[in-house]
Amino acid sequence: MRSWWWVKEKKKHMDLLITVAMILQFQMKGCVGCVETERMGLLQLKSYSSSLPGFGEGEGSNLNSWSDDDGPNSDCCNWEGVKCSDATGGHIVDLSLDSIFDYLELDQTDRGLNISLLHSFPQLKTLVLNNNCFSHLFDPIHGYKSFERLENLESLDLSSNRFNSSVLPFLSAAKSLRILNLGSNRLEGVFPPNGYKSFQTLENLESLDLSRNNFNISVLSFLSAAKSLRILRLARNSLEGVFPPNGYKSFQRLENLEDLDLSGNRFNNSVLPFLSAARSLWFLNLGGNRLEGVFPPNPNGLNNFRELEELYLSDNAIKDFEAGKGLRKTKLKTLDLRYNRLSETARLKGLEHLVELEFLSLSSNQLNNTRSIQVLKDMPKLQELDLSYNEFTDLDSLGYSKLCGLINLRELGFKKQCFDKYA
């Protein structure tokens, strides 16, 4: 029988061998370096960009580190905005080309992006091109099918440019996309131009940002084809009218939708029945619309929102809030009612039943006595409460003594009150 010390020494030797092997493996991976064809592709991309008006060559330029020499900076995996992966043999997987043009030259310049220059990076997964004021895409060889060559591309950020709807046919070929950001462009009309069929090709798409464009209500006709969507951002598009045009069925097909931002549009109370079909929502932003009167208009109108955790209703014309049976069944943790018309006659009915609520903002309303907020004392998990910019005149009207019962409260805001009694 071998003695215990022999076994212990053998274990030490094995641990040492494993450690040495890991170090050698790490060193070998670290030596993979940049793929030469991709280094040349980056330099070609830089050359093209520098030929466009407004290319930034100052000290802050993203592309200053892209150098065509054999010096210590020759490894393109160390260049700014470039990320390589040893798992793919040193191929480029992330490329960030945000803000490569000078602001002074951006406004009126027609600036196009030749997508074929990106074909040098076959393993590319993430491409960021935001804040460059590109106006169009083109590929003199492959045309609309250009993105098919980037078959690993999962995330594409084209936000804060000047793209119009001419960019959309190119995107239908990006079949591997999971995340697409087209926010802050000049898109308008129907998305996508070819109707449902174009959108069906993006069967992996999970996150779509179309905020801050010029779409009208017709943009929503594509929803029934977007079955994989989890996140949809349509903020600040001046959307109004019946939502969605195809009725409840369009939203029922979005069974995976979890995050919906409709803020900064022109929806009124008629939007709510349609939203109830999106049963998986945990985040809903309806701020900056035209909701008015009692919210929700029907106490049972939000019965299907069992997963809802965050609800933003700021900057509307809501006078009364009633947490009916629907909201009481949710997991609501955040409720934002800032900039509404809650006043001394306001009812905040049922708030005490939102037992999971952690953040509540009632600021910038017209509340002025404890009657309207006395239900707050029965909210056991409340951590942040903002009552700022209302019309309370003293701590008694604020119900301050009752709020002391909120044992988990960490932040209490009541800026800009008129506490004349204590002046």
Task: With beta carbons less than 8 A apart as the criterion, state whether 153 and 124 touch.
Answer: yes
The tens place of each residue's pLDDT in the chain, 423 residues long, gives 445 444 455 555 666 665 555 544 444 444 457 899 999 999 999 999 999 888 876 445 678 889 887 766 789 999 999 999 998 889 999 999 998 887 655 566 788 999 999 999 999 999 999 999 899 999 999 999 999 999 999 999 999 999 998 898 899 899 999 999 999 999 987 666 665 666 778 889 999 999 999 988 878 777 767 789 999 999 999 888 766 666 666 777 788 999 999 999 999 998 888 888 888 999 999 999 999 999 988 877 777 888 999 999 999 999 999 887 777 778 999 999 999 999 877 878 888 889 899 999 999 999 887 777 778 888 889 999 999 999 887 666 555 666 777 889 999 888 876 555 444
350 burial level (CB within 10 Å; 0-12, 13-18, 19+): middle
Give the per-residue pLDDT at 364.
95
| Structural domains in the chain, sorted by start | 32-422 (3.80.10.10)
Q: Going by C-beta distance under 8 Å and a sequence separation of 6 or more, which residues neighbour residue 44?
A: 117, 120
Hey, what are 257's tokens?
A: 């939708």
AA identity, residue 196: Y
308-338 core/surface letters (b: 16 or more CB in 10 A; e: else): bbbbbbbbbebbbbbbbebbbebebbbbbbb
- Determine if the peptide bond prior to 299 is cis (ω within 30°): no
- Determine if the peptide bond prior to 244 is cis (ω within 30°): yes
CA distance 15 to 100: 49
pLDDT tens digits, 100-157: 887 655 566 788 999 999 999 999 999 999 999 899 999 999 999 999 999 999 999 9
CA distance 108 to 128: 22
CA distance 243 to 269: 11
Give the per-residue pLDDT at 30.
43
Give the per-residue pLDDT at 41.
97
pLDDT tens digits, 151-182: 999 999 999 999 998 898 899 899 999 999 99
Global pTM value? 0.86
- Residue in the structure block whose two tokens are 């196009």: 112
